[in-house]
Structure 1
Amino acid sequence: MKFGKDFVRQMIPEWQQAYLDYAGLKTILQEIKTSRKRLERPGGLKRKLSASRNFSSLTKRYSRNSSSWEPDVQDILVYATTGDDGFERYETTILEVAEAGRESELVFFNALDLEFDKVNHFYRSKVEEMVKEAVVLNKQMDAFIAFRIKVERPSSSWTCSETVSVDMNALGSKEQRKTLADEMGIKVEGNESNGEESVPEVKLLFPRLKTIKNVLKLSNQDELKFTRENLKKIEARLKNVFIVFYRKLRHLKNYSFLNTLAISKIMKKYDKIASRSGAKSYMEMVDKSYLTCSDEINKLMLRVESTFVEHFTGLNRSKGMSLLRPKVKKEKHRITFSTGFFVGCTVSLVVALVMFTHARDLVGAVGHKLYMETMFPLYSFFAFVVLHMIMYASNIYFWKKYRVNYPFIFGFKEGTELGYRHVLLLSFGLGTLALCAVLINLDMEMDPYTNDYKTITELLPLFIVALVIAIFFCPFNIFYRSSRVFFLMVVFRCIAAPLYKVNLPDFFLADQLTSQVCVFS
């Protein structure tokens, strides 16, 4: 895969405009290449500028004693300025103007400098946001540790402003106790008597109830009661906050790496097209910029990892890292195979239905009108459902193709969203089941004694509906349980809309149903 496509594929959709415009810079390089070819033709315009003319404008701005002044080695000169907002901005000057493509080269470096300034500015602002979030998260962690200590020692008398003695042995090993004491800013006191180590005690000034409630963002007074149930709720909530924060840090780290790699790639292309050696000078500037030399993100990631592993996974690093790092959802081969199998079955059954109808001349047979008025609406309902599922699968396909973050928009739980292959599998599976029932229903035999059809054959549509409803309400973790629960909750909120807040998934489904109201009439 070419780097340009891979670069777009790895972008964060919400930050797409903040990435380096790699495609636009490549377009300018193509213009440089085209202009050089045009001027190199016989009879083309050839201009030759003297070195003294090229350097005359530079000597007024830069000193020859500067360390960056190396005209024999460098083809470009990059210097930094500080704007009114405090952010650095970079400008590139060509030391030796080429005979061909001069204007395009100036346009290229102007565009590259603007793009790099944009990337550097965005990265710095995001790092500052992460640092502020880390401060808030640290306060929440301190309040959570205080909450946990109170739950572990419910017998200790406690008020909003008094010190209490806490048995630190109940909190784990010696290392854990020391780490906890350091984080809380408390002092562990202990003495030895008769050769045995006494129980260490701690004098701890607990934060006020109001402070704990504000820091942990508790919604009501019931959640502030010092019970193990509330401790588990707060722990689960704080664990999710840590996971989200860590993945933001990973996104920022990936953002820095991708843009640095894109600049390196585009400068190598420039050197190849313009026959220059400017990549080294420009990349030296990039390596000294905030985008690459800043270490705040790495430090924050290490702190989050150590805190998460210690307090949420019981020092089990492998378990902690598996929770922090996003899980890559692998496409299973059996899903693709099963989808193709049911597509083939559906097509075959449709062909069989058409041939069966013509072979027995069912269209002009007696009772055809009655059958179409009674049985056909039952089976057409399944066709309607299958059609909507296929359209939804098409939506998912194009959302993924154009990098729309639909799991986040619809609020799916991470890792449980269905791909278009899964939806197609369900739709064609239901279509195969419904077509089989249609063929069995058409092939039913009449009882010669009662001149009536067999009851079990007439109840086939009811059996299919009952089967689908049973699968929907099945409590076991089969047939995409999380998606079934999500769909049922959306349907419930659509029905009880006056009593519940309507979200985007509810509106999306309700809009689809109301647009097809004529089908249900």
Structure 2
Amino acid sequence: MRFGKEFVSQMIPEWQEAYIDYAYLKTILQDIQASRNISDPNSQNNKPSFARNLTRRYNRDASVSDNHGIVVNTVTRELETTYETVFLKAGDSEVAFFRTLDREFNKVNSFYRLKVDRARNEALSLSKQLDALIAFRLKVMEMNHSLSDSVSVDINTLASKIGSSSKPGEHMALGDLIRNEETGNKNILERIRMNKTRETPLSAIKTILKVQKQEELKFTKDNLKKAEDLLQIAFIEFYQKLRYVKNYSFLNTLAISKIMKKYDKTAARNASKLYMEMVDSSYLTSSDEVHKLMLRVESSLIEHFCNSNRSQGMNLLRPKVNKERHGITFSTGFFFGCAISLIVALALIIHARNILGTPGQRTYMETMFPLYRFFGFVVLHMIMYAANIYFWRRYRVNYSFIFGFKQGTELGYRHVLLLSFGLGTLSLCAVLLNLDMEMDSQTKDYRTFTELIPLFLLALVMAITLCPFNILNRSSRFFFLAVLFRCIAAPFCTVNLPDFFLADQLTSQVQAFRSLEFYICYYGFGDFRQRRVNTCRSNDVFTTFYFIVAVIPYWLRFLQCIRRLIEDKDPGHGYNAIKYLLTIVAACLRTAFTLNRGVTWNITAWVFSGVATLYATYWDIVVDWGLLQRGCKNTFLREKLLVPHKTVYYAAMVLNVLLRLVWLQTVLDLKFSFLHRETLVALLACLEIIRRGIWNFFRLENEHLNNVGKFRAFKSVPLPFNYQEDVDQDN
């Protein structure tokens, strides 16, 4: 791999604008080469390679060694050091090269200094947190009559403080130091309070009702365990930040070295040595503060959280990488082949037994098909999500950071495809198991037990999802369940990006929710024993919930928008809430039209559906995707694009408009003789899922670019303690 590609691949995506513009500097070198070729057609760069190598071998020292061509000056303005290169005997292209290089290097140097300053401040904050934790730990041990254990645990710390606090020739008694420690711990404990690290629906209600009181500092083992876990996570995250900053310094220094060597080769000079001496003396390379902070974090974590076990501590600090295993790839291909084979077998059975068009087929489509299509919707959505992951990774969208996945636990696209194809294989096996049920007039081997197969399959999926054991991607399953719970409790929880992103996915699964409703009715009212559907279709309760189920996902998004409007005071969330309110009204009117018919229902459904579609389409393309911006270099798009082919964006906008018009089938009451009504509904639902999958990529691309613009590469980590003076300063 060439250095240019390797340099890009190792960049921190959110900081890419702060790196040396290596590619642009290479284009300037190409201009220098072109100008040299024009001015001297017989230059050694135009000679055959053998002759050029001989010339380079015998004349390198005589012609190049003292030909620096530059003088690098250090300039200090407003307490900030910058570097400017003076050009000696340089052409216009070389002047442009060094001006660009100086600008890029000063940008990198300033950015690095800023990150180090922030890291220093964060280190001070973590140091105060660690002091509070030690004091809290000693107090808990004292209250639990384990002071002797606390002394043994912290004896190394006390011994080190004896050496550091005493002047040469003076010694401090261990008893005096312990008493001083106790006095200091008491002062610390009087100034701290436990932070509330996670908002729950109950705490949100108390906050709204203004009954939330400042909790006293309770010295319990549970609180100690929570504080230790939170601070350990904070130290690990801070260490990862330091690794990023250190890697940023190394990569940019290496890029400057590479580009200067290319310059020397192109311009036949020896300027790289002089320029790199300046780089080595700059803050970017000479500062060792990041390295010292990393050593402090290592020692603190090992001593206070790992019982001085260095291997355990370093294992916690190493970045976790989710490796792609060959077994995953093989299993994915295996289940994919099984799914294709089962689809072919299903088609052959239907054709061989001439099942289509029989009374049994119509009954099957109205009873069993709505049960099985639920799994089809889920599988299709998972396949679209796997495709999203693939393209997010290809175009370096940091989806793991944006969603807040725990490092090393995020699923790759192969994992998601394995789950989707596995579920698809199980579903198709279940379909084949009870396909004959009274559909074939010759066999009529209908059995009540086999009618329960879809319910067993649903129960299996639910059991795997809720399984508490550390198997089958437990971290991802629990993350999904936690986000789903926050979606349900939308008014009582702070809304983050994963919450409203999942809620948006649910709005594209209305037919899946209706299938779940049919599960309850079909098996709850006993219709499965005779394979009848009339009881559900004619039930007023079922009809009422047929409306409610279609509204629930949009209602949850509406509540999330209201919550964000109250918290952020941003009117944009209010406009977004109007979008979902219009969608709710349009969905209800279309459902009413399908049940009642009539001209009035048809007209109102047309009007509200049209308005809702226009509003939602504008919001998708302009707000969520950030496209259709005026005055940018990319016509009708935006300034920054990750996909190099602009036609992809234009095609996505057109597809979004077309796929949002699938509701026209409802109000136009289109019918196709070769398609059953339930099949048509399923196909339209699949089109909506595909539209959502396309929306997902561009929505997260836009979010990623916003993070890049603000250089946000790290998630905020809650700290366990809150110093009272910090609260006073904030007030």
Separation in structure 2 between the aligned mates of residue 381 and residue 438 of structure 1, nearest angstrom:
12
> What amino acid is the match of 1:273?
T
**Equivalent residues of 1:447, 1:454 under 8 A apart:** no
Deviation at 1:516, TM superposition (A): 4.0
Deviation at 1:492, TM superposition (A): 2.4
Query: 2:71 aligns to what?
Result: 77
Query: 1:355 aligns to what?
Result: 348
Deviation at 1:115, TM superposition (A): 0.3
**Equivalent residues of 1:396, 1:419 under 8 A apart:** yes
Deviation at 1:146, TM superposition (A): 2.0
**Equivalent residues of 1:127, 1:296 under 8 A apart:** yes
Measured against aligned partners, the alpha-carbon deviations of 1:407-451 in whole angstroms (never above 9, x if no partner) come to 222222222221111111101111111112222222457899995
- 1:111 and 1:317, CA in 2 relative to 1: closer, same or farther beyond 3 A? same
Separation in structure 2 between the aligned mates of residue 439 and residue 314 of structure 1, nearest angstrom:
58
More off after superposition, 182-191 vs 375-384: 182-191
Measured against aligned partners, the alpha-carbon deviations of 1:166-193 in whole angstroms (never above 9, x if no partner) come to 86983347534313666899985259xx
Measured against aligned partners, the alpha-carbon deviations of 1:115-163 in whole angstroms (never above 9, x if no partner) come to 000000000111111111222222222222222222233389xxxxxxx
Query: 1:312 aligns to what?
Result: 305
Query: 1:17 aligns to what?
Result: 17
Query: 2:240 aligns to what?
Result: 247
Query: 2:472 aligns to what?
Result: 479
User: Hey, which of these two has a bigger chunk of helix by percent?
Assistant: 2
Q: Please show how residues 452-463 of structure 1 align to structure 2 within 5 Å.
A: 453-463=446-456
Query: 2:581 aligns to what?
Result: none
Deviation at 1:385, TM superposition (A): 0.8
Q: In structure 2, which of residues 159, 163, 183 is the aligned counterpart of residue 206 of structure 1?
A: 183
Gaps in structure 2 of 5+ consecutive residues:
43-63, 197-212, 515-545, 547-731
Q: In structure 2, which of residues 305, 314, 332 is the aligned counterpart of residue 321 of structure 1?
A: 314
- 1:426 and 1:185, CA in 2 relative to 1: closer, same or farther beyond 3 A? farther
Separation in structure 1 between the aligned mates of residue 400 and residue 462 of structure 2, nearest angstrom:
25
Separation in structure 2 between the aligned mates of residue 439 and residue 155 of structure 1, nearest angstrom:
63
Q: How many residues are aligned here?
A: 473
> What amino acid is the match of 2:313?
G
Measured against aligned partners, the alpha-carbon deviations of 1:438-474 in whole angstroms (never above 9, x if no partner) come to 2222245789999551223322212211111111122
Q: Answer yes or no: is 1:507 the counterpart of 2:528.
A: no
**Equivalent residues of 2:302, 2:310 under 8 A apart:** yes
**Equivalent residues of 2:346, 2:432 under 8 A apart:** yes
Query: 1:428 aligns to what?
Result: 421
Separation in structure 2 between the aligned mates of residue 500 and residue 226 of structure 1, nearest angstrom:
28
Q: Answer yes or no: is 1:171 the counterpart of 2:171.
A: no
Query: 1:260 aligns to what?
Result: 253
**Equivalent residues of 1:213, 1:224 under 8 A apart:** no
**Equivalent residues of 2:22, 2:255 under 8 A apart:** yes
Q: In structure 2, which of residues 173, 178, 184 is the aligned counterpart of residue 189 of structure 1?
A: 173
Q: Secondary structure at the match of 1:455?
A: coil
Deviation at 1:112, TM superposition (A): 0.7
Q: Please show how residues 346-425 of structure 1 align to structure 2 within 5 Å.
A: 346-425=339-418
Q: Answer yes or no: is 1:131 the counterpart of 2:124.
A: no
Deviation at 1:483, TM superposition (A): 1.5
- 1:476 and 1:223, CA in 2 relative to 1: closer, same or farther beyond 3 A? farther
- 1:346 and 1:214, CA in 2 relative to 1: closer, same or farther beyond 3 A? farther
Q: In structure 2, which of residues 123, 128, 132 is the aligned counterpart of residue 143 of structure 1?
A: 132
Query: 1:195 aligns to what?
Result: none
Q: Secondary structure at the match of 2:28?
A: helix
More off after superposition, 180-189 vs 129-138: 180-189
Separation in structure 2 between the aligned mates of residue 26 and residue 8 of structure 1, nearest angstrom:
14
Q: Secondary structure at the match of 2:315?
A: helix
Query: 1:333 aligns to what?
Result: 326
Query: 1:26 aligns to what?
Result: 26
Separation in structure 1 between the aligned mates of residue 310 and residue 258 of structure 2, nearest angstrom:
36
Query: 2:597 aligns to what?
Result: none
Q: Answer yes or no: is 1:111 the counterpart of 2:100.
A: yes
> What amino acid is the match of 2:18?
A
> What amino acid is the match of 2:325?
K
Deviation at 1:353, TM superposition (A): 2.0
Query: 1:278 aligns to what?
Result: 271
**Equivalent residues of 1:123, 1:291 under 8 A apart:** yes
Deviation at 1:493, TM superposition (A): 2.4
Q: Secondary structure at the match of 2:468?
A: coil
Separation in structure 2 between the aligned mates of residue 474 and residue 106 of structure 1, nearest angstrom:
65
**Equivalent residues of 2:249, 2:285 under 8 A apart:** yes
1 or 2 for the larger relative contact order (CA 8 Å, sep ≥6)? Answer: 2
Separation in structure 1 between the aligned mates of residue 193 and residue 318 of structure 2, nearest angstrom:
24
**Equivalent residues of 1:247, 1:324 under 8 A apart:** yes
Measured against aligned partners, the alpha-carbon deviations of 1:60-112 in whole angstroms (never above 9, x if no partner) come to xxxxxxxxxx994422221111122x221112233233xxxx22211111111
- 1:335 and 1:319, CA in 2 relative to 1: closer, same or farther beyond 3 A? same
Measured against aligned partners, the alpha-carbon deviations of 1:270-316 in whole angstroms (never above 9, x if no partner) come to 12222222111111111111100011111111122112211111111
Q: Secondary structure at the match of 1:404?
A: coil
Query: 2:459 aligns to what?
Result: 466
- 1:397 and 1:106, CA in 2 relative to 1: closer, same or farther beyond 3 A? same
Query: 1:46 aligns to what?
Result: none
Gaps in structure 1 of 5+ consecutive residues:
43-69, 157-165, 192-198
Separation in structure 1 between the aligned mates of residue 480 and residue 431 of structure 2, nearest angstrom:
27
- 1:384 and 1:179, CA in 2 relative to 1: closer, same or farther beyond 3 A? same
Q: Secondary structure at the match of 2:471?
A: coil
Query: 1:294 aligns to what?
Result: 287
**Equivalent residues of 1:120, 1:291 under 8 A apart:** yes
Q: Secondary structure at the match of 2:143?
A: coil
- 1:466 and 1:152, CA in 2 relative to 1: closer, same or farther beyond 3 A? closer
User: TM-score w.r.t. structure 1 length?
Assistant: 0.83
- 1:35 and 1:24, CA in 2 relative to 1: closer, same or farther beyond 3 A? same
Separation in structure 1 between the aligned mates of residue 308 and residue 181 of structure 2, nearest angstrom:
25
Query: 1:94 aligns to what?
Result: 87
Q: Answer yes or no: is 1:154 the counterpart of 2:135.
A: no
Return the index of the structure with the highest Cα Rg: 1
User: TM-score w.r.t. structure 2 length?
Assistant: 0.60
Measured against aligned partners, the alpha-carbon deviations of 1:310-343 in whole angstroms (never above 9, x if no partner) come to 1111111111111122122221111111111111
- 1:493 and 1:205, CA in 2 relative to 1: closer, same or farther beyond 3 A? closer
Query: 2:6 aligns to what?
Result: 6
Deviation at 1:517, TM superposition (A): 2.8
Separation in structure 2 between the aligned mates of residue 442 and residue 71 of structure 1, nearest angstrom:
84
Separation in structure 2 between the aligned mates of residue 378 and residue 150 of structure 1, nearest angstrom:
59
Query: 1:488 aligns to what?
Result: 481
> What amino acid is the match of 1:81?
V
Query: 1:49 aligns to what?
Result: none
**Equivalent residues of 1:417, 1:483 under 8 A apart:** yes
Separation in structure 2 between the aligned mates of residue 89 and residue 326 of structure 1, nearest angstrom:
34
Separation in structure 2 between the aligned mates of residue 82 and residue 449 of structure 1, nearest angstrom:
95
- 1:450 and 1:360, CA in 2 relative to 1: closer, same or farther beyond 3 A? closer
Query: 2:665 aligns to what?
Result: none
